[in-house]
Structure 1
Amino acid sequence: MDINPEIEMPDPLELFSFTCGRFVANEEHELAQRYREFNFNELARRAARAVQADRCLSIEKLPDGLYNRILLLTMDNGKEVVAKIPNPNAGRPHFTIASEVATMKFAREVLCIDLPQVYDWSSRAQETPVGAEFILMEKVHGVELQQLWPKMTTEERWEVVKAIAAYQESWASVTFEQYGSLYFAEDFEGENIPALVYTDEKGQRVEDSRFVIGPSTSREMFDMGRRGIDFDRGPWNSLEEFHAAIGHRELACVQHLPNLHPSPLTLRGPGLYQPTREKKIAALETYLKLLKYVLPADRSLGSSHLWHDALHGGNIFVDPDNPGRIVGIIDWQSTGISPLHFHIHQPRFMKHDGPQLHGLERPVWPPDYDDLKADAKRAADALFWDQTLCSLYRTLIYHRIPKLFKCFEFQTSTPSSLLLAAARLSIDGEAVYLYTACELEKQWENLPGTQGVAFPLTLTITERQKIFEDAIGAVVGMEAMDRIKSRLGRNFPQHGFVLHHKYKMVIDALSQATREVLSEVEAIKIELAASEQ
């Protein structure tokens, strides 16, 4: 492909490749999953035409994401266009981009969310001269919240929290009749899929023929080798169908993946728990046996909603002159229509170190605050105000979105744990899952719908003992991994990725920390046993 000398741009290989850093494991595979060729000259022409410009002056590659290539194209009329090109690991071809664009349109026009306007797009690489799927959208004129958050006042932070709660109130007020992902109707032309039906904030039933609900594009449908496995991707008509499909999906993956994926949460090695297909299948069969008894009794907690679950500081843009004002929310890729109780995450930008509050709990100052040294006082102050913000958020949700607050309460229950953990059982968690399921027998009679129903699991004393031993072994493995993360601190490779200049240092540190922690396994077992007494 010839480079247009009139366009200022990086080397094409840099545009096509993941260049932000390196991967500490399976690097060749990981980089291949993030390599995408495309016709940048045609992309520039499409972008110029989309904003009534004569030509594109420059193409700038923005920092790599894990799933997409993001470019900034500047036109001769002064306008800027953001181009988003999905990597091979972003999701199913066509479906992922088609759903993202439809979701953005619905969120912008029906839910009234501030997000970028889409100028042009294609979800079918073979039908466009660009040679790849793409979205061309407006540039959000603001600053990432994560850049300003550390310097913002408590009042400014509170304004952001209130704005996010208002968005969530809007999302909670619109209820759908199915679970899956949103698409334009023309994406399923000739397939006899009914038009989208939802209940709006006024309680009115609305039919919108522009949209349909189709297969889910959530990451769990594609990541960790799931892309090539045949299972039900939706849509689903009931809460029980939605949750049953999760169990059958994970079963299909355990049975048909050529190799089990190593857990990112648990260290494996001598003296530690070793997962097997048989144990994972046992956990998933247990999930399917218990499913109808662990669904929330208040079915409003399972109502179907469109929700942005990645509210971290990189996806929220604010006004630099008024940081408390949100000007846009980006990255709607893989946003699905799913049960409300699946959205019980406190916004990630509010995450902080230290103890977490629960329910309507309020923060308190340390009893020895006046005796603390200056550094300790500053740390106590920071924790107090972080906790205060979280407490205010929960209180706001309690008053404005009662059923979402009920989801926070449901989150603390064993049934909720069993529902949520099932979604990853092909990857990790089966040992603790089986133990938690066995422990459910102690509260069985208090669960709704179980009166007169025998506990579905029949296990011998030997089987229960083995489940207990496996759970302890898995907890030891998790504690071991936590120790490795603690020793590396901010240098721990989240998602297996590190910056170039840190690569050798991180590899060496990981190797050393792993050796040290493996030598501590017996001590960890003793410590955990002592803490249980």
Structure 2
Amino acid sequence: MDNGSCVVARVPMPIAGPSRLATNSEVATITYLRSKISLPIPKILDWNDDPSNPAGTEYIIQEHVAGVQLHQEWHKMNPEQHMLCTKALSLTIKKMASLDFPAYGSLYFADAPLDSDLKIPFEQGFCVGPHCSPVFWNRNPGEHELYRGPSPNCGPWRDLTSYCRGLIDTGFSRLPKEAVNNRKLLPYQGSIQDHVRLLKTSREVIQKLSEDERVKDAATPALLHPDFHKRNIYVSAEEPTVITGLIDWQSTSIEPAFIYANETPDFAALPMVPEADPLEDEQDETEISRQKERELKDASACYQTYDVVMTALVPKLRPARLLDPTLFRLFHYCHTTWRDSAVAVRQELIELSARWAELGLEGSCPYSPTEAELKQHARDYEDFEAVQALKSWLRDNLDTNSDGWISSDAWDAARVAHRAAYDEWIQTAKEAESRGEDMTVAKADKMWPFDAR
């Protein structure tokens, strides 16, 4: 501003979520949280969810957060600072999880532009309405063929059964309405018919899971930050264990607690253990090994700190964290089968079917794959795992997240590294193809996870 002060002005892109609702929900969520618990969320100075206003767009104007991104500071911090910062952030999650809600969906102001039958009254001035995540409105980036309208069931949902129905309805709504060019699909994507069958099966399996008392106990409505990672956390430049700001509350939602329970933020995640490089000499390898050991010890302390707080001090998350995560994974993926591929959902169904009795579930699993299906799945799953390993390797080497997010100041270096990684991947495929192996250049190109080539 002219007087030297800073504010942040934000406008939504079409992929942000439903028009008006995404803005109204974000502002309502921030307003409610600031009124209930002590969190370093930047104050909203002005906002408007009507695109016909004089600015010509919805907007939110907020205070500028003091401090620096944790993403920028993390590598400069020592192990004790990492642990203290993780503890502070874990206790922040505890505060959010202490709030109670009457239904699943998103939080809005009571006068939000919604039909009355889509509003579940909440505390004075607020209501629970439709889930405003882009997933339910078919607006995710890179999925233009799905931009034809929202799911017919975006909520709100008063109980777990209706929430599950919303997931399946959304999964069906995300299937293309016409045949897709196979050249654009991953080798293990599966046909539209495959996905229809998987969704019908998932509906039966999820219905049985949602009747289990342990799953019900783990399904208390909870509202947590939807993207609680280092890039959205600001800390003091002088004392990085002090949290100064939490940003990007877009698409915050009220979910069954088990949806959040087993997610691990990047500041508490254990690192991948890379394979030894045969080109390193023995002395270098020893020093690198010691460095990796120190990093693993540091990350383990952060992970254990986070785990203790989530399990011991957050009652809503405890039931799910004490149960086998296999019970809950289908809830995460059944509504995104087309995005994640048929093999991803089929793997969850196969594991549930194989472990049904071991997991203490009543009766028999509605899904029982044939030997032929299992053999075909094993071949497809090998490709799927190769892509997941590639994504993990790229995420660690490019210092990005699974969606490819890169801070603007690191973009040029990351683009060069990305290009080198792609060239290496394709060269490996060429060599495999020349040996007559299953991997080909065309297949490798399809499996590359980012648009850039």
Report the AA paired with residue 466 of structure 1: E
- 2:34 pairs with 1:75: no
When the two structures are aligned, how many residues end up with a matched partner? 415
- In structure 2, what is the equivalent of residue 228 of structure 1? 148
- In structure 1, what is the equivalent of residue 125 of structure 2? 210
Query: Could you give the per-residue CA deviations for residues 483-506 of structure 1, whole angstroms, max 9, x where no partner exists?
Result: 587489429996467846775884
Pairing partner for 2:366 from 442, 456, 466: 456
2:130 and 2:155 in contact (8 A); partners too: yes
Greater relative contact order (CA < 8 Å, ≥ 6 in sequence) = 2
Pairing partner for 1:282 from 197, 205, 212: 197
Q: Secondary structure at the match of 1:243?
A: helix
1:92 and 1:227 in contact (8 A); partners too: no
- In structure 2, what is the equivalent of residue 373 of structure 1? 286
- 2:74 pairs with 1:146: no
1:311 and 1:349 in contact (8 A); partners too: no
Report the AA paired with residue 94 of structure 2: E
Report the AA paired with residue 304 of structure 2: S
Aligned positions of 1:92-491 closer than 5 A:
92-126=18-52, 128-188=53-113, 191=116, 196-197=121-122, 208-221=123-136, 222-223=139-140, 224-225=143-144, 226-229=146-149, 230-254=151-175, 256=177, 259=180, 268=186, 272-295=187-210, 297-298=213-214, 299-343=216-260, 344-354=262-272, 373-410=286-323, 412-447=324-359, 450=362, 453-457=363-367, 461=370, 464-479=371-386, 482-483=389-390, 486=393, 489-490=397-398
1:297 and 1:448 in contact (8 A); partners too: no
Report the AA paired with residue 469 of structure 1: Q
Query: Could you give the per-residue CA deviations for residues 179-206 of structure 1, whole angstroms, max 9, x where no partner exists?
Result: 1111111114772665643xxxxxxxxx
Counterparts of 1:167 and 1:505, CA distance in 2: 35
Tell me which protein shows more strand as a share of its residues: 1
Report the AA paired with residue 218 of structure 2: L
- For structure 1, the 5+ residue unaligned runs are 1-73, 198-207, 357-371, 526-533
**TM-superposed deviation, 1:324:** 0.9
Counterparts of 1:491 and 1:382, CA distance in 2: 15
**TM-superposed deviation, 1:75:** 3.1
Counterparts of 1:390 and 1:497, CA distance in 2: 23
CA RMSD after TM alignment: 3.4
- For structure 2, the 5+ residue unaligned runs are 275-284, 440-453
- 2:12 pairs with 1:89: no
Counterparts of 2:56 and 2:387, CA distance in 1: 46
Counterparts of 2:348 and 2:311, CA distance in 1: 29
**For residues 302 and 227 of structure 1, do their structure 2 counterparts lie closer, same or farther at Cα, with a shift above 3 Å needed?**
farther
**TM-superposed deviation, 1:431:** 2.2
Counterparts of 1:250 and 1:260, CA distance in 2: 20
Report the AA paired with residue 171 of structure 2: E
1:184 and 1:212 in contact (8 A); partners too: yes
2:235 and 2:243 in contact (8 A); partners too: yes
Report the AA paired with residue 366 of structure 2: P
Counterparts of 1:487 and 1:138, CA distance in 2: 34
1:232 and 1:245 in contact (8 A); partners too: yes
- In structure 2, what is the equivalent of residue 31 of structure 1? none
Q: Secondary structure at the match of 2:225?
A: coil
Query: Could you give the per-residue CA deviations for residues 96-146 of structure 1, whole angstroms, max 9, x where no partner exists?
Result: 1111111110111113321011011111111x1111111011011111111
**For residues 419 and 260 of structure 1, do their structure 2 counterparts lie closer, same or farther at Cα, with a shift above 3 Å needed?**
farther
Counterparts of 2:134 and 2:56, CA distance in 1: 24
Q: Secondary structure at the match of 2:356?
A: helix
- In structure 2, what is the equivalent of residue 23 of structure 1? none
**For residues 432 and 101 of structure 1, do their structure 2 counterparts lie closer, same or farther at Cα, with a shift above 3 Å needed?**
closer
Counterparts of 2:161 and 2:110, CA distance in 1: 26
**For residues 492 and 387 of structure 1, do their structure 2 counterparts lie closer, same or farther at Cα, with a shift above 3 Å needed?**
closer
**TM-superposed deviation, 1:440:** 2.9
**TM-superposed deviation, 1:438:** 3.7
Between stretches 227-236 and 130-139, larger displacement belongs to: 227-236
Counterparts of 1:323 and 1:395, CA distance in 2: 22
Between stretches 250-259 and 78-87, larger displacement belongs to: 250-259
Report the AA paired with residue 175 of structure 1: D
Q: TM-score, normalised by structure 1?
A: 0.69
Counterparts of 2:17 and 2:115, CA distance in 1: 24
Counterparts of 1:189 and 1:493, CA distance in 2: 34
- In structure 2, what is the equivalent of residue 359 of structure 1? none
- Aligned-residue identity in percent: 22
